[in-house]
């Protein structure tokens, strides 16, 4: 079948031209041209999102299949012959593969027509960073008339030939916080006349680590990560201000609310302890990806004999596919794309690689999702 070779070519073409969220103009043009060549009528939603309907033969469900299209602001170091041609940007999460799989699926559906109802393929901008592109598509009407929605993510931790799929929570709620500490700056030799914002930032980061260890129930998954501390200008001046940013991952609204409250309390009171002040900005990100029981079960059943279907531990990563599943029944799965020798560089690494043998399998996995 042509699409089995083509899917690899599409992935390589797209790998060369990674673009970050909502800037995916070359990517958009590539996808658009392909869909038009297939005789479809693509529709643009937002800056770079695309939906296109593929009518089947006879009555049936209206099923949406989504691929995310953005790359990451990261210089590529894989040394691949089809490496990124865009300095400082890389497809380091596998979204090039997601697009290729869905393009090849479109090829196959148009050629074979062996399905009822309609398949709507959705190319979504900006998955990597909240607010994300899923809401843009949904607000633009992408889910209107849709009965079910499916998607997948290439997963380098798992070998080719396996998928991770289960009902219930698959990926975490992902929030973001910023703590702004305001002290009093001064000469590095005269701390007595200052309120040292760098010291307070350091204490705050340490104290934040007591939230998960001392406030969250042991059986409730949660992560609090302080990713950056910024403060000060030079070695001999005591900093007047400092900023701490971080991320929070949870699976329940109760734990999410608890952690937000604790971050505010700890930041404000740690600063107060040193007679300074702190302000907390807490931004809620993507909600939990929750697979619907019936659709996840049916899909797993259809994949029997094709791949090994494993029940994965939920990932603490976030995904804006969550929004589709808040509106429509459906499911999301992890498609194993690890290297044969097991040495797969992690997602978001400058060395990230996907095993291309996973690509034709991905087409078949989605093809089965739309079969009734």
Q: Which residues are catalytic?
A: 70, 127
Indicate the residue among 136 and 194 with the shorter CB distance to Ni ion.
136
Instruction: Scan for tokens 């007047």, then name that residue.
Output: 240
Indicate the residue among 93 and 122 with the shorter CB distance to Ni ion.
93
- The residue with its CB nearest to Ni ion is 93
Separation of alpha carbons 186 and 353, rounded Å: 49
Indicate the residue among 165 and 197 with the shorter CB distance to Ni ion.
165
Indicate the residue among 132 and 330 with the shorter CB distance to Ni ion.
132
Checking DSSP bridges between strand 118-124 and strand 49-55, what pairing results, if any? antiparallel
Q: Are 137 and 49 in contact (CB under 8 A)?
A: yes
Task: Count CA within 13 A, CB hemisphere, residue 6.
Answer: 14
Contact between 65 and Ni ion per CB under 5 A: no
Q: Which residues of 214-244 are buried (b: 16+ CB within 10 A; e: fewer)?
A: ebbeeeebbbbebeebebbeeeeebbbbbbb
3-state helix, strand, coil in the chain (%, to 5): 35, 30, 40
- Which of 260, 241, 242 minimizes the C-alpha distance to 250? 260
The least CB distance from residue 315 to Ni ion, in Å, is: 10
Q: Are 333 and 165 in contact (CB under 8 A)?
A: yes
Contact between 72 and Ni ion per CB under 5 A: no
Separation of alpha carbons 20 and 328, rounded Å: 27
Tally Cβ neighbours within 10 Å of residue 130.
17
What are the structure tokens assigned to 90, written together? 């890389």
Instruction: Scan for tokens 């734990």, then name that residue.
Output: 255
Pick from 17, 52, 67, 93: which binds Ni ion (CB under 5 A)? 93
Indicate the residue among 64 and 93 with the shorter CB distance to Ni ion.
93
Separation of alpha carbons 172 and 67, rounded Å: 19
The least CB distance from residue 153 to Ni ion, in Å, is: 6
Chain residues in the site for Ni ion (CB under 5 A): 93
């Amino acid at each position: 079948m042509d699409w089995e070779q083509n899917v690899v070519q599409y992935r390589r073409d797209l790998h060369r031209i990674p673009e970050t969220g909502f800037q995916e103009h070359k990517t958009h043009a590539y996808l658009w041209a392909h869909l038009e060549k297939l005789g479809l009528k693509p529709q643009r939603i937002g800056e770079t999102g695309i939906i296109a309907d593929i009518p089947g033969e006879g009555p049936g469900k209206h099923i949406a299949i989504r691929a995310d299209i953005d790359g990451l602001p990261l210089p590529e170091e894989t040394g691949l012959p089809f490496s990124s041609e865009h300095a400082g940007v890389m497809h380091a999460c596998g979204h090039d593969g997601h697009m290729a799989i869905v393009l090849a699926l479109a090829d196959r559906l148009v050629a074979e027509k062996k399905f009822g109802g309609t398949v709507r393929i959705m190319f979504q901008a900006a998955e990597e960073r909240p607010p994300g592109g899923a809401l843009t598509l949904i607000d633009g009407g992408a889910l209107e008339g849709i009965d079910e929605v499916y998607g997948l993510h290439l997963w380098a931790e798992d070998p080719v030939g396996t998928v991770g799929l289960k009902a219930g929570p698959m990926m975490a709620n992902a929030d973001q916080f910023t703590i702004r500490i305001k002290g009093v700056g001064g000469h590095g030799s005269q701390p007595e006349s200052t309120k040292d914002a760098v010291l307070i930032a350091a204490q705050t980061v340490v104290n934040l680590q007591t939230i998960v260890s001392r406030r969250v129930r042991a059986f409730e998954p949660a992560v609090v990560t302080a990713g950056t501390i910024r403060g000060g200008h030079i070695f001999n001046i005591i900093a007047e201000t400092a900023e701490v940013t971080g991320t929070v991952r949870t699976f329940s609204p109760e734990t999410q609310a608890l952690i937000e409250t604790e971050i505010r309390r700890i930041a404000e009171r740690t600063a107060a302890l040193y007679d300074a002040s702190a302000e907390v900005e807490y931004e809620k990100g993507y909600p939990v990806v929750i697979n619907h029981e019936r659709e996840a079960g049916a899909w797993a059943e259809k994949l029997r004999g094709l791949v090994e279907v494993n029940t994965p531990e939920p990932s603490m990563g976030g995904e804006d596919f969550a929004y589709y599943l808040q509106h429509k029944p459906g499911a999301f799965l992890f498609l194993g794309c690890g290297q044969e020798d097991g040495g797969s560089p992690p997602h978001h690494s400058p060395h990230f690689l996907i095993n291309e043998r996973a690509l034709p399998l991905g087409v078949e996995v989605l093809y089965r999702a739309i079969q009734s």
